[in-house]
Amino acid sequence: MSTSTDTDILVVGAGPAGLYAAYCAGFRGLRVTVMDVLPQAGGQISAMYPEKPIFDIAGLPSVRGRDLVANLVAQADAHGVRYLLGRRATELSYDADGRPVVRGDGGTVVRAGAVVITGGVGTFTPRPLPAGEDFLGRGQVYFVPDPAAHSGHDVVVVGGGDSAFDWAALLAPVARSVRLVHRTARFRAHHASVARVRELGVEVHTDAEVSGLYGTGLLEEVEIRHRVTKEARRLSAQTVVAALGFVADLGPLQGWGLELAARRIAVDTRMATNLPRVFAAGDITDYPGKVRLISVGFGEAATAVNNAATVIDPEAALFPGHSTETEH
């Protein structure tokens, strides 16, 4: 369905940085529209680890992913944000007044005073499990948005990174059994995550690979093979979680003419890109000294929006004022 929207600021990306950017724009009284290819707000958090506790948000010793997203949405929605979800931003052009015009899926057209790109890592595609693609949707999954869906299952988690150990720890309390399989004895996951999984009694198989998935209709067994001895064994499994990482790219944004650095968008201290009226914030950006944390993305989003506001209205002040000074 075609949609035509006129807005002050278009935020491309509905992850944490994008949602906070929407709040910052709304706080200034600007009309704000958020576009994202995913069908729900929250970006990677909603898609990949909604139940995972996050520990590096200032003022929150621990917050569950989905709760952080819900709070960010509530914060932004207080200022009347418009969402265009399930729409990929595909093309950028400029109108006769020099305002950005962004076109997206389904005939979506957004005319904006400025654009703030907060697309995280861009489009991310999970790395496939070579032996298991036939069982995708029949027992093989890449993400675990709802651990309860695997209650009582025998679960095999494949991978050695943070996501693999997070899924294993998350599923251990609800699954009948959880086993983790990794191709080497060295893990990319943080040592604290590894220790926690072992404390939970998860059976860890190292120097092993998944060599086959079996079942009539739904998944019933997973075959693993030792990489050195070649010994194979079958494990009962109704769920296998392929946590082998993902391939990220900027997708259509690469055709916008943006200056890139390390496959990310180069920005200056204002979070401005090389394109007029186009800013960026969050993990999708790169500059010397860049630190990729959600908390850093929040600050970049505020910087991007407030600098964009002065481009939209040269008479506007850069500093928006303190929220404590407003009446509620």
| Binding positions for FAD | 36, 44, 49, 89, 124, 283, 324
Helix (H) or strand (E) run with residue 19 in it: helix 16-27
Q: What's the per-residue H, E or C state across 31-83?
A: CEEEEECCCCCCHHHHHHCCCCEECCECCECCEEHHHHHHHHHHHHHCCCCEE
Q: Which long-range contacts (CB under 8 A, 24 or more apart) does 127-131 make?
A: 127/242, 127/244, 127/245, 127/246, 127/247, 128/242, 128/244, 129/158, 129/210, 129/240, 129/242, 129/244, 131/209, 131/210, 131/211, 131/212, 131/213, 131/223
**Binding residue positions:** 36, 44, 49, 89, 124, 283, 324
Tell me the CA distances in angstroms from 100 to 9, 12, 91, 117, 129, one per residue in order: 10, 12, 10, 12, 41
Tokens matching residue 105: 């899926």
The closest alpha carbon to 203, from 174, 177, 185, belongs to 177
